[in-house]
Structure 1
Amino acid sequence: MPKYMPKVVSTTEPGKNKDSAVSLNYPMLMRGNYTTWALKMKVYMQTHGVWDVVVPKDSKAPIDDKMDKIAMATIYQSIPEDIFLSLAEKETAKEVWEAIKVMCQGVEHVKNAKIQTLKAEFESLSMKDSDSLDDFCLKITGMVTNIRALGEAVAEAYVVIKILRAIPPKFLQIVSTIEQFRDLDTMTIEEAVSSMKAHEERL
């Protein structure tokens, strides 16, 4: 799939006048960026108030035709022409969204294989003494985001424990303190990283 530059589109939210228009820099779907693209597009469509027609809360509820067309237009702004042409016969935003998801994530068995590969990489990750704590945690959270985007649940506590187990011995003191005095079941990734960064600065 070729790379495309993102489009800057001036748009007005449903029910708002032109004076309240905002410029949205729609992300362009490219090879390998589906997870990030889908997360951003969800936010854009929530901003427009049309996300519920893409992923309905009630599958039996009637679809608002105007909202559906806005959602489709929003998606079409952010995909290359070759994908757009393959979606020409889709009649609703939900069908378009699901078709793109299948194209990018593959069929179910391929998706499961991707999940297993990502989980194996996640388990094998460890931080080297030369790595910065910020970079390592970004790598961890990025991998978790990709796994979750494929439909696999990853508990926050599981990620926190992974981080505590994967860092170098210089953090042993703060890790021991966290494990003794904090509830790992309710601790967030941000709290764990913040505690370790404070310890790193003291070192």
Structure 2
Amino acid sequence: MKVLMEAHMVWEAIEPKDPKVAPDVKTDKRALAMIYQGIPDDILLAVAEKKTSKEAWESLKIMCQGADKVKKAKAQTLRMEFESLKMKDTEKLDDFCMRLNGLVTNIRALGEAIEENYVVKKLLRAVPTKFLQIASAIEQFGNLDSMSVEEVIGSLRAHEERLKEPTESGEEQQLLLTADEWQKKEIKEGQLLFTREEWLKRSGKGNSSDGGDYRRRENRVARDRSQVKCFSCGGYGHYAAECRKSG
């Protein structure tokens, strides 16, 4: 409203260059008319009885002081929320950046200054552990004072995509199998990868209290090979390691 009145050369009615000289009536009425045009109806009723544009302007300033206090309180609340903002481990980077930018936009809309480099530093502090490597690299080798939020988000997004790439080969995945899974895998493939004594040692049955009974049962089975099934050819009477058909 002040800029509009300055453009129409009527601002001197409110702040005259010489306080001792009263503005002419025409200029004052034009300024008052612009004030009336620039405020909503509910506020217009409160200043309609003012005789001069200066009186109307001073009345508006008093009424807006309460609004300024509300804006400052809300900006303070948003800034506290901004300071405590943290990205969750399961949260996507784009979703977190939307929350961050939303807070920054609202804070700035309320008249609070928040520098770009301050937002950049906050973003690097708020990311979870999986971004720690790239965040440390940006802090050490990047110029945070001249870097934009969009540049940092781009670097973090590239790192996030790299994390999605498979890094384990089939052999590495096999190393993650449990002992039971290994045993099932060996039986399914019909392979005897270690001897009975090694299997007893790995399974812990060789040191158990019933180890003697278990070995006696094994000896009876070993003497009576008619019940022994070969996992290589499917026949009975021998083990897979002894199978002649498998070569």
TM-score (norm 2): 0.43
Bigger-Rg structure (1/2)? 2
1:166 aligns with 2:126: yes
Give 1:96 deviation, angstroms: 7.4
Gaps in structure 2 of 5+ consecutive residues: 165-247
Give 1:133 deviation, angstroms: 3.5
Give 1:168 deviation, angstroms: 2.5
Partner of 1:117, secondary structure, is helix
- State the identity %: 37
Alignment partner, residue 91 of structure 2? 130
Gaps in structure 1 of 5+ consecutive residues: 1-40
Over 3 Å counting, the alpha-carbon distance change for 1:144 and 1:113 in structure 2 is closer
1:140 aligns with 2:100: no
In 2, Cα distance between the equivalents of 1:154 and 1:191?
18
Tell me if structure 2 keeps the 8 A contact 1:127–1:168: yes
Give 1:69 deviation, angstroms: 6.4
Aligned residue runs from structure 1 range 21-40, under 5 A: none
More strand by share: 1
Give 1:53 deviation, angstroms: 8.2
- Give the length in aligned residue pairs: 148
Give 1:73 deviation, angstroms: 5.9
Aligned-partner residue type, residue 103 of structure 2: I
TM-score (norm 1): 0.50
In 1, Cα distance between the equivalents of 2:109 and 2:37?
23
Over 3 Å counting, the alpha-carbon distance change for 1:127 and 1:60 in structure 2 is farther
In 1, Cα distance between the equivalents of 2:103 and 2:146?
18
Q: Structure with the greater relative contact order (CA < 8 A, sep ≥ 6): 1 or 2?
A: 1
Q: What CA RMSD, in Å, does the superposition of the two structures yield over aligned residues?
A: 4.3
Over 3 Å counting, the alpha-carbon distance change for 1:192 and 1:99 in structure 2 is farther
In 2, Cα distance between the equivalents of 1:193 and 1:51?
45
In 2, Cα distance between the equivalents of 1:51 and 1:169?
58
Alignment partner, residue 53 of structure 2? 91
Which among 147, 151, 158 is matched to residue 187 of structure 1?
Answer: 147
Alignment partner, residue 11 of structure 1? none
